[in-house]
Amino acid sequence: MSATAIDVPLLGAKWTIGFTGLLHTAVASLSIGLAALVTVLQIVGYRHRDRRYDLLARRMQLVHVCIYNIGTIVAIGLIFSLSGLFPQFWSQLFVHQFWTLIVEEFIFFLLATTVTFHYFFWQKMWGHKKLHIFLGALLTPLFLLQFYLINGIGGFMLTPGYQTGQATVGGLIDGWDRMGFYNPSFLMLTAHRALANVAYGGFTVAALCGIMHYLTHREKVKRYYEDNGRCAFYTGFLCFLGLPIVGYFYAHVLKYEANEAYVNLMWGQGDVVALGMDWWWLKQLLVAGMFGLALGYFRDASKRQGASFALPLVLVWSLALFYLLYYLGMGMIMTWKFFFAMLGVAAAGMLLAGHLVRFHRGSGRALFLLMGALSFLTVMLGGYVREAARPRFVNRYSHYDHVYIPEHRQPVLMVHKRPEDVFTPEELAAAKAPPKGALIQAGGVGQKLLDSAALIRVHCSGCHTLERVKNYRLTDRWSLIVSQMRAYGLKLSNDEARLIVEHLEAARPY
Amino acid sequence: MDLPVIDPPIFPRWIWIEEITYSHIPLATYITACMVLAPVFEYIGWRRRDARYDRLAVGLIWFSLTLFSPGAALGTGIPMWIMGTYPEFWSRWSNLFFWPLMAQFVFFIFEVLFLFLLYYLLWNWSVNHKRLHIFLGAVAAFWGLMVQLVWDAVGGYMLTASRALPGVDEPVAWSPQAFFNPSLPFLFSHRFVGNISWAMMVTGGVLGLRAVGKKPAEDRAYYNWASHLTFTIGLLAFFGMPVIGWFYAQVIGRHAPVAFHAIMGGHQAWMFIAKVALIGVFVAIGGAYVFLRYQSRLLLWGLTAGLGLLWVVLTIHPPLKWLGDSPWVWRGAYTALLAALAALLWGIRGRWSVETKGWKWAMFAAGLASFFAFCIGGMVREGAKNPHTVYGELEKPEALPRERDRFLLYDRCVQCHHRTINEFNRYDHRRTWADILGDANHRSVGKDADERDRLLRYLDRYYR
């Protein structure tokens, strides 16, 4: 087998995919958010008989149409990059999810047509406003459906949900892999991204309003952008508040279904740390900063009378408290040092928000801009760390006759062939046996984990940070400690307890 | 081949690919044609201070933009389908054309930026910066043509793959031989002119119909004017096609002889004849329209010269299909048809008005005929290389033994047999094919026993 592959000078294959993928994600996520916001603005405008909202909605839709096309083209670039640079991975993905991608393509076409008609026939459909709003409102469910399909594939890449050997040999795969699609992290990924996209869209629209506020000099127009910016900002913030709740459960899924990725994220290992920086932590610090900035803005906004779209402060603070509780939960499994750093950044954000609003005489324009930039960065970092957290999917091969490894599984991937037609019973049994280390990586619920390091990571971090284990001083009494933990409710078999104690006593890394 | 092939339901995979591709290509080619012509119209309008040209230019771009997103979304589906249904072919493609495809991605980004942001959105703003605006439109068109160039290179490679290509196990990423394949310049120029021709004829037909239903006289006058202009441009552009097509056919004949023979009398000939028939329809309608509508002798003689050019190309071109036993029958037939058409056109010159509803529908029908002729042209090119996806390099997964045998027959026999595959029909029917292949003239053909069996199988089945 040829182990050589196409490479991209300077950037390298990995970063080419990363760059193209993130660019697409930035644009596609914004599209989803914008579609929802345009509908909100159109409905508000129609209900209040206020053309200003309709005008803003139209401008947002124009931005949407432009970035939509850029997103489409970047998606094409991503397809070409993946098929050229990672042919093995890409081919394998097609074997599992060809029909998913084709249905997604069809929805893509429907979306492209709808968004185009919605914008370009805005004036022509003026006499049919309800129909026009309905057409625009169709975009959001279509986007979510498309997004649902892509998340099935994205989730599969992180939590395949079964052992690879079993998945390919166990059934006839002809472009659709139900088990792979409805993988363990699928639901959480979908919920997390749906909220994040609307939040991102809201903050971006607010940022655009902030820019227009800077550029315009007429007081009336300034007030228009201020009000619209606030409306978009509130919409974004409400979705933003839901993120750590979903994120908390998402992290739990990863912990059991993609333990290695989970460990990489939570304790800064693998590709999550690049250029000497833990990008996951940076993302969380930015999120904390956004949280503080938003709360600061709300505190200030609540003091002002007569502002449109004022959210009840009690709602904001109670949601914020809920938000904090979930971060506390996350803090349990990250580190307290990190948790307090987040609190500090949030407090600094709050102070900065107050300063920015006062400096601009009550206008949130600078804050809108800052939040837009931060939301963009967090979307980018979120996408990056999710991809970087898992171990490298495959090696890169270019020879098209050898896109599938291991080769002994290739024949069952062919159409109209069943595993029984290709393999002897012995070969089938061998193929179904888990590859070395697979149990550790999969770590499915109910499976016996045999790797002691993974046992420690999964079981100990359920209640406290691993730092607590590492900092424990009475290292000659691990057996007693493990027994205590079992008495507190930790469910371990005797074999697992023995493996953990041996590992800790030997002071091996975990 | 050890790659899995997805087998789509209902239709064979090649039909799926054809339908998906044909959902994208008309949109993409129409947009490209409009992008090329809009700055030209805008320039003419600016120079002549005629606002109608500007209105036409912005109308074309507006309409192109409504097609852009759906077209791009459908375009994204094409590689997806190919990857699943023809994975080996796609692997070869993405290996040899990695950098051109990436470049195409960059060109596409530039196209969108210039077309959407700098050309369309700045139209009103740039009333006082017309030169700059026209320049931006031309740049957008340039990037669009660059995208077309890459795809034509890739499409040209499928029919005339160059010699001495890198091995399939070499991660080449870019092959100048494959990219600058022999048919690239002809395919590109054929498509460039063809896109303008069909897109403008269809536009002319549609604008003509719009003129019928318009109430304000000003609007009606504009749509009438615009339909005349675009339809005439489309018709005149067509006359470049046979000339380029003749050169293109020469290249195909030299570098993909089996495909050439498949079109010229072989299994794809019926489709090519259908295309020529459609051409006949829109040339006749369009010619009559021009002779009725315009008085300019230059234009009328130009169109007559175009018919003459068509006659020349048909005369030096290999016969499409024998009519009877003699090539002179075929030559006589098209000469008589073209002469009769020219005489008829000069005879009806200026006799009736074309400002009637019936003529608008006729223009629309001519536009549709040109559109279908364009579509059939692509089908002919793709079908001619059956059972190969890349001529002489890769075979389709669904290739049938019959198709393989036919390719072998064309490859081994037609080169020596006069000019078309139909000559097989004129062999002495008293002799068996085994006898014929065994005689002295054919010894070099039947050396290999398997090859000989396959040739006999095909000849016995289809030429007796």
Q: Do B169 and A102 touch (CB under 8 A)?
A: no
Per-residue pLDDT, A118: 93
Per-residue pLDDT, A489: 77
DSSP 8-state secondary structure symbol assigned to residue B95 = H
Cβ-contact A176, A98 below 8 angstroms:
yes
Q: What is the pLDDT of residues B62-118, one digit of tens each?
A: 999 999 999 998 988 898 898 888 887 888 788 888 899 999 999 999 999 999 989
Nearest to A70 among B65, B75, B112 (CB): B112
d(CA B133, CA B43): 10
CB neighbour list of residue B461: distance below 8 Å, 6 or more residues apart: B402
A415 touching B, CB under 8 A?
yes
Q: Do A400 and B117 touch (CB under 8 A)?
A: no
Q: For the ranges A57-71, A205-219, B163-177, which has the lowest average pLDDT?
A: B163-177
Residues in chain B closer than 8 A to A24 (CB atoms): none
Q: Give the mean model confidence (pLDDT) for residues A357-365.
A: 88
pTM, rounded to two decimals: 0.81
pLDDT at B273 over 90: no
**What does the H/E/C string look like for A402-418?**
HCCCCHHHHHHHCCCCC
Q: What is the pLDDT of residues B143-185, one digit of tens each?
A: 999 999 999 999 999 999 876 566 555 667 888 888 999 999 9
The Cα of B132 is separated from the nearest Cα of chain A by a number of Å equal to: 21
Provide the chain B residues 57-96 that lie in CB contact (below 8 A) with chain A. Answer: 62, 65-70, 72-77, 79-81, 83-84, 87-88, 90-92, 94-95
Per-residue pLDDT, B164: 56
- Name A274's bridge partners: A277
pLDDT at A422 over 80: no
Residues in chain A closer than 8 A to B2 (CB atoms): 401-402, 404, 410-411, 414
Q: Do B84 and A175 touch (CB under 8 A)?
A: yes
CB count within 10 Å of CB B9 equals: 6
Give residue limits of the domains in chain A: 12-389, 448-510
Q: What is the pLDDT of residues B306-334, one digit of tens each?
A: 999 989 988 887 666 555 556 677 788 88
CATH of A448-510, picked from 3.40.50, 3.30.1360, 2.60.40, 1.10.760, is: 1.10.760
Per-residue pLDDT, A132: 93
Residues in chain B closer than 8 A to A68 (CB atoms): 69
Cβ-contact A169, A419 below 8 angstroms:
yes
Q: Which one is predicted more confidently, A166 or A83?
A: A83
What average pLDDT does the structure give for chain A? 78
Per-residue pLDDT, A266: 78
Angle (nearest 5°) at CA B284 between B278 and B290: 130
Q: Give the mean model confidence (pLDDT) for residues A373-386.
A: 90
Residues of chain B with pLDDT > 90, as a percent, come to 43
Give residue limits of the domains in chain B: 1-159, 193-384, 401-462
The Cα of B89 is separated from the nearest Cα of chain A by a number of Å equal to: 9
- Name A273's bridge partners: A278
Cβ-contact A326, A247 below 8 angstroms:
yes
pLDDT at A416 over 60: no
Best of A59, A69, A103 to disrupt the B interface (most B CBs within 10 Å) is A69
A117 touching B, CB under 8 A?
yes
Q: Give the mean model confidence (pLDDT) for residues A241-269.
A: 82
d(CA A258, CA A270): 14
Q: For the ranges A229-233, A461-465, B242-246, which has the lowest average pLDDT?
A: A461-465
Q: Give the mean model confidence (pLDDT) for residues A372-387.
A: 90
d(CA B172, CA B96): 6
Residues in chain B closer than 8 A to A416 (CB atoms): 7
Per-residue pLDDT, B307: 92
pLDDT at A208 over 60: yes
Per-residue pLDDT, A165: 41
Burial of A446 (0-12, 13-18, 19+ CB in 10 A): exposed
Hey, what are A147's tokens?
């997004």
Query: What's the one-letter identity of residue A310?
Result: A
Q: Do B98 and A84 touch (CB under 8 A)?
A: yes
Confidence of residue B214 (pLDDT cuts 50, 70, 90): low
Q: For the ranges A189-193, A419-423, A485-489, which has the lowest average pLDDT?
A: A419-423
Provide the chain B residues 11-30 that lie in CB contact (below 8 A) with chain A. Answer: none
Q: Do B79 and A411 touch (CB under 8 A)?
A: no
